[in-house]
């Protein structure tokens, strides 16, 4: 079953007097346990696509389904809840809160009813940052911080994981590790993972690679 | 709110993490609030210089003649009125005369301002003496209990002071704390002494009273032609200059409270601007606006409530250390009202921050991360 389904998404921006077509009837399906990458030059609309899939931006036309629910028809005020419960985000930078230790970074966002299903401790163990459980971001390395951020993406047992250039702030080795971790967790937990990247060194870790050019996905 | 506890914890952790910054803000809050409390104490102290004699008097109502416009000093009641009132109520009653005069110390020429409160010795309106004995307990012919400010004039227990107009001597038998009327210190004398003064000044004098003080609420059946019963509050606000002074001073204090609280709101707004990125991330990760509002309000409340407690301790500590003569009077209820208003207004002024947060688009979390 496809956990993420994007159907004929169109999005354009008004750029001065010109109308710029960023996404042109883009469709994409990602199954559970599958890791896909969207690659393309900057300005190709990768971030826009990710924002639409991540319930941060509404498309002009088209449908977004996550875990079978048609998200694009939900009113905007329910988006925060949908993001919280169905989507795990990994950003370019770790974006951890400076005043919380690693465990609290996770539990702060964890829904009460998901507590039985996923444990923060277990996730941190799997991502090999168990030693950082009481550490604050200021005392962790870049790789450790990004791994805690990856753990945070899984804390609410979401349907999909969206990673926005997850290697951007890391060196080659750590960047690769980070994508490996996303892959391993997605496989293990059966999540659909979408990685937006222009880092070609990690593409061997990806199941399907979709280049995005002129607002269209190629395969 | 199911996540209330964890959000409170988050607020606390953020304050602790940024302790250098927040201690400075807390210091500012404490200073502002202390200033407000201190000024409100001084204001109240000044106000009491007008009214403390009546405010501390153990009476709830006063019977005056109905043309007196609530002013005890211009009221005049016939000699038989106190007895009539006593028969019409189960409440305690006691006659009272108030007269502004001058005292002269033995062997000196300088006149000292005094307001006589002429009362029946041992009646419930006699003040508690802090030093010496009450009017009824002394065996001198004309005893007087003075406000403690007279101690500063070098008057001591057992001294003889003269009424400057009649030259009648009084013996100082006691001092009472904080007894003022219309900015003038009070001297409590007996109604008999008072009558003696009046007789000496005008041989045609017939005994009259200014007012009858009533303690208790049984006033329904008091009905004497040409008189009316007036509440203590109305009596106080009718003391000349009381209302005008009180209003001015109260205005000053409240304007300060509002200004201080708005300053806090602005401080918090600046902090919020610095944290826009964080708020964007939290929103992208699905944290509800309700929780973010609760987070901001908890932080403001933690800062302002703790600052309230610290400044209350400071203000009351200082009140204890101030010299007696300083017109400083801070009532607990008043101080609590001031800090409560302060906390509420500062929470209210964090609406500015909340509005700003509500306008942050969570999409800022995606992409280069630069706003």
How does residue B159 score in pLDDT terms, banded at 50, 70 and 90?
Answer: very high
CB-based contact (8 Å) between A203 and chain B?
no
Say yes or no to pLDDT of B1 above 50. no
CB-based contact (8 Å) between A218 and chain B?
no
What pLDDT does residue B370 have? 40
For an interface test with B, the pick among A97, A106, A163 (most B C-beta atoms closer than 10 Å) comes out as A97
What pLDDT does residue B2 have? 54
CB-based contact (8 Å) between B13 and chain A?
yes
What pLDDT does residue B367 have? 73
Task: Give the pLDDT confidence of B72-89 residue by residue, as tens digits.
Answer: 999 999 999 999 999 999
Chain A environment of B360 (Cβ under 8 Å): none
What pLDDT does residue A183 have? 96
B286–A82 C-beta distance less than 8 A:
yes
How does residue B368 score in pLDDT terms, banded at 50, 70 and 90?
Answer: low
CB-based contact (8 Å) between B223 and chain A?
no
Closest chain A residue to B289, measured at CA:
A80
Sorted by where each starts, the structural domains of chain A and their CATH numbers stand as 2-95+152-217 (3.40.50.300)
What pLDDT does residue A214 have? 83
| Mean model confidence pLDDT for chain B | 89
Across the interface, of B2, B6, B362, the residue whose CB is closest to A108 is: B6
Task: Give the pLDDT confidence of B289-303 residue by residue, as tens digits.
Answer: 999 999 999 999 999
Closest chain B residue to A79, measured at CA:
B286
Domain boundaries, chain B: 4-51+243-365, 67-225
Chain B environment of A156 (Cβ under 8 Å): 286
Closest chain B residue to A105, measured at CA:
B10
CB-based contact (8 Å) between B271 and chain A?
no
3-state secondary structure chain B: CCCHHHHHHHHHHHHHHCHHHHHHHHHHHHHHHHHHHHHHHHHHHHHHHHHHHHHCCCCCEEEEECCCCCCHHHCCEECCHHHHHHHHCCCEEEEEEEEEEEEEECCCCCEEEEEEEEECCCCCCCCCCCEECCHHHCCCCCEEEEEHHHHHHCCCCCCEEEECCCCCEEEEEEEECCCEECCEEEEEEEHHHHHHHHHHHCCCCCCEECEEEEECCCCCCCCCCCEEEEEHHHHHHCCCCHHHHHHHHHHHHHHHHHHHHHHHHHHHHHHHHHCHHHHHHHHHCCCCHHHHHHHHHHHHHHHHHHHHHHHHHHHHHHHHHCCCCCCCCCCHHHHHHHHHHHHHHHHHHCHHHHHHHHCCCHHHHCCCCCC
A91–B281 C-beta distance less than 8 A:
yes
Chain A environment of B286 (Cβ under 8 Å): 80-85, 87, 109, 156
Nearest CA among A104, A172, A117, A184 for reference residue A142: A172
B284–A56 C-beta distance less than 8 A:
yes
For an interface test with A, the pick among B4, B286, B291, B295 (most A C-beta atoms closer than 10 Å) comes out as B286
Q: State the average pLDDT over residues B193-218.
A: 91
For an interface test with B, the pick among A56, A74, A82, A104 (most B C-beta atoms closer than 10 Å) comes out as A56
From CA B170, how far away is CA B192, in angstroms rounded? 12
B286–A83 C-beta distance less than 8 A:
yes
A to B CB pairs, distance under 8 Å: 76
Residuewise pLDDT in 10s, chain A (219 residues): 799 999 999 999 888 888 888 999 999 999 999 999 999 887 788 999 999 999 999 999 999 999 989 888 899 889 999 999 999 999 999 999 999 999 999 999 998 887 778 899 999 999 999 999 999 999 999 999 999 999 999 999 999 999 999 998 899 999 999 999 999 999 999 999 999 998 889 999 999 999 998 888 887
**Of the listed ranges A134-148, B151-165, B211-225, B250-264, the one predicted with least confidence:** B250-264
What pLDDT does residue B39 have? 86
Task: Give the pLDDT confidence of B104-118 residue by residue, as tens digits.
Answer: 998 888 999 999 999
3-state secondary structure of A2: strand
């Amino acid at each position: 079953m496809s956990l993420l389904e994007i159907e004929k998404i169109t999005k354009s921006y008004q750029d001065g007097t010109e109308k710029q077509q960023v996404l042109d009837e883009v469709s994409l399906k990602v199954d559970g346990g599958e890791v896909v990458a969207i690659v393309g030059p900057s300005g190709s609309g990768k971030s826009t696509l990710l924002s639409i899939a991540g319930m941060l931006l509404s498309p002009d036309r088209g449908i977004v389904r996550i875990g079978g629910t048609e998200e694009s028809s939900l009113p905007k005020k329910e988006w925060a809840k949908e993001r919280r419960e169905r989507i795990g985000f990994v950003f370019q930078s770790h974006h951890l809160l400076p005043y919380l230790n690693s465990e609290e970074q996770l539990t702060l966002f964890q829904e009460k009813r998901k507590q039985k299903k996923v444990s923060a401790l277990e996730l941190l163990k799997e991502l090999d940052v168990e030693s950082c459980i009481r550490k604050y971001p200021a005392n962790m390395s870049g790789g450790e911080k990004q791994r805690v951020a990856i753990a945070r993406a899984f804390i609410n047992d979401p349907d999909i994981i969206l990673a926005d250039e997850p290697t951007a702030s890391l060196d080659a080795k750590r960047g690769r590790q980070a994508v490996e971790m996303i892959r391993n967790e997605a496989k293990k937990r059966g999540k659909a993972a979408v990685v937006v990247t222009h880092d070609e060194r990690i593409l061997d870790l990806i199941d399907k690679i979709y280049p995005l050019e002129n607002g269209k996905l190629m395969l | 709110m199911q996540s209330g506890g964890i959000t409170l914890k988050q607020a606390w952790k953020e304050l602790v993490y940024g302790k250098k910054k927040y201690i400075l803000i807390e210091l500012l809050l404490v200073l502002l609030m202390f200033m407000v409390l201190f000024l409100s104490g001084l204001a109240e102290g000044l106000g009491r210089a007008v009214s403390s004699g009546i405010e501390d008097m153990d009476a709830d109502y006063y019977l005056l003649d109905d043309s007196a416009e609530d002013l005890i000093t211009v009221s005049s009641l016939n000699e038989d009125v106190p007895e009539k009132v006593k028969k019409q109520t189960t409440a305690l009653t006691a006659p009272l005369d108030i007269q502004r005069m001058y005292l002269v110390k033995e062997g000196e020429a300088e006149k000292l301002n005094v307001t006589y409160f002429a009362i029946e010795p041992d009646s419930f309106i006699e003040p508690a003496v802090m030093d010496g004995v009450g009017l009824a307990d002394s065996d001198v012919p004309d005893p007087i209990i003075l406000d403690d400010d007279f101690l500063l004039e070098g008057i001591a227990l057992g001294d003889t002071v003269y009424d400057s107009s009649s030259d009648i001597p009084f013996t100082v038998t006691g001092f009472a704390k904080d007894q003022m009327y219309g900015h003038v210190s009070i001297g409590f004398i007996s109604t008999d002494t008072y009558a003696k003064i009046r007789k000496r000044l005008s041989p045609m004098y017939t005994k009259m009273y200014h007012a009858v003080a009533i303690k208790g609420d049984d006033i329904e059946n008091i009905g004497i032609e040409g008189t009316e019963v007036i509440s203590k509050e109305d009596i106080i606000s009718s003391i000349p200059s009381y209302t005008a002074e009180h209003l001015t001073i109260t205005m000053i204090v409240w304007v300060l409270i509002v200004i201080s609280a708005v300053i806090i709101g602005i401080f918090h707004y600046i902090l919020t601007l610095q944290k826009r990125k964080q708020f964007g991330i939290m929103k992208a990760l699905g944290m509800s606006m309700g929780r973010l509002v609760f987070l901001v309000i908890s932080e403001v409340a933690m800062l302002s409530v703790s600052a309230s407690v610290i400044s209350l301790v400071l203000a009351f500590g200082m009140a204890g250390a101030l010299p007696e003569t300083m017109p400083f009077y801070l009532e607990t209820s008043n101080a609590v009202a001031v800090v409560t208003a302060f906390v509420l207004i500062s929470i209210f002024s964090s609406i500015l921050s909340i509005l700003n947060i509500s306008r942050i688009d969570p999409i800022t979390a995606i992409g280069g991360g630069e706003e």
